[in-house]
Amino acid sequence: MKSTIRQRAGRLGGLTTLERHGKEHFSKVGKTGGRPRNLTISELRSLSYGSQGGEVKSASKEHAKTR
């Protein structure tokens, strides 16, 4: 359980953020969980890496081939 001092500080910080940034900011933060979201596996696969068509190669395998 939070102490009342921390609760008050959190509430004050939240109200200040609301005043500065508006409700849209909280909506956007709520969708991402407050932290930047990592790409999903399907999003990573859809990225194009050169002529490989989205295939991602291991750096260690590439290094071994050049030795």
Q: Tokens for 47, please give them.
A: 């990225």
CA distance 31 to 39: 14
Q: What is the pLDDT of residue 31?
A: 80
Q: With a threshold of 0.75, does the pTM exceed it?
A: no
Supply the range of the domain harboring residue 41: 4-66
Angle at 35 between CA 29 and CA 19, to 5 degrees: 35
Chain mean pLDDT for the chain: 76
The total number of structural domains in the chain stands at 1
pLDDT digits (tens, 9 = 90+) for 30-45: 887 756 678 888 888 8
